[in-house]
Amino acid sequence: MDTFLSGLKAAVDTLGATVLLPIVIFVIAAVLGAKIGKAFRAAVTIGVAFIGINLVLGLMLGSIGDVAQAIVTNTGIERDIVDVGWPSAAAIAFGSSVGLWVIPIGIAVNIALLLTRMTRTLNVDVWNFWHFAFIGSLAVAATGSLAYGLVVAALMAALSLLFADWSARAVQKFYGIPGVSVPHLASAQILPIAIVVNWIIERIPGINKINISTETIERRFGVFGEPVILGLVIGLVLGVIAYYNAGDFGVVLSKVLQTGMTLAAVMLLLPRMVKILMEGLLPVSEAAQEFVRKRTGDRELLVGLDSAILIGHPAAISASLILVPIAIILSVVLPGNRVILFADLAVIPFIVAMAAPLLRGNVFRMVIVGTVTLAAGFYVANALAPLFTSAAVDSGFEMPENAVQITSVVDGFLWISYVVIAAIRNLGAAGLGVLAAIIAACFWLYRRNTLAWERAAGAEDDETTAQQG
DSSP type of residue 345: G
Beta carbons of 333 and 79 less than 8 angstroms apart: no
pLDDT of amino acid 465: 41
Rounded to an integer, what distance in angstroms lies between the CA atom of residue 98 and that of residue 93? 7
Rounded to an integer, what distance in angstroms lies between the CA atom of residue 169 and that of residue 93? 30
Burial class (CB in 10 A: 0-12, 13-18, 19+), 131: buried
State the first-to-last Cα distance of the chain, in angstroms, to the nearest integer. 36
Integer-rounded Cα radius of gyration of the chain: 22
Using alpha carbons, list the distances in angstroms from residue 104 to 11, 32, 111, 130, 288.
Answer: 13, 21, 10, 12, 22
Beta carbons of 138 and 391 less than 8 angstroms apart: yes
3-state DSSP assignment of residue 388: helix
Mapping DSSP onto H, E and C, the string for 198-263 reads HHHHHCCCCHHHCCCEHHHHHHHHHHHHCHHHHHHHHHHHHHHHHHCCCCCHHHHHHHHHHHHHHH
Amino acid at 24: V
3-state DSSP assignment of residue 362: strand
Q: What is the dihedral of CA 257, 263, 265, 270, to 10 degrees?
A: 170
| Type and span of the H or E element at 180 | strand 180-181
Q: Helices 415-427 and 146-175 meet at what angle, rounded to 10?
A: 150
pLDDT of amino acid 193: 95
Rounded to an integer, what distance in angstroms lies between the CA atom of residue 121 and that of residue 109? 11
β-pair partners for 81: 339, 405
pLDDT of amino acid 218: 66
Rounded to an integer, what distance in angstroms lies between the CA atom of residue 172 and that of residue 180? 7
pLDDT of amino acid 42: 85
Rounded to an integer, what distance in angstroms lies between the CA atom of residue 442 and that of residue 456? 14
Q: Which one, of 309, 342, 414, 317, lies nearest residue 88 by Cα? A: 342
- Burial per residue of 245-262, b for 16 or more beta-carbon CB atoms within 10 angstroms, e otherwise: ebeeeeebeebbeebbbb
Using alpha carbons, list the distances in angstroms from residue 139 to 145, 172, 189, 409.
Answer: 8, 34, 19, 18
Rounded to an integer, what distance in angstroms lies between the CA atom of residue 240 and that of residue 91? 35
Per-residue pLDDT tens, the chain, 469 aa: give them: 556 656 666 666 666 667 777 888 888 788 877 888 888 888 888 888 878 877 887 777 677 778 777 877 777 777 778 888 887 888 888 888 898 888 889 989 999 999 888 999 988 888 789 899 999 999 999 999 999 999 999 999 999 999 999 999 999 988 888 888 999 998 999 999 999 999 999 999 999 999 888 777 666 656 655 777 877 887 888 888 888 887 788 888 998 899 889 888 887 887 778 778 777 777 777 777 677 666 666 677 888 888 888 877 888 888 888 888 898 889 888 999 988 877 777 788 889 999 999 998 899 999 999 999 999 999 999 999 999 999 888 887 777 766 688 899 888 999 999 999 999 999 999 999 999 999 999 999 998 888 888 888 887 654 444 444 4
DSSP type of residue 360: T
pTM listed for this prediction = 0.81
Beta carbons of 359 and 388 less than 8 angstroms apart: no
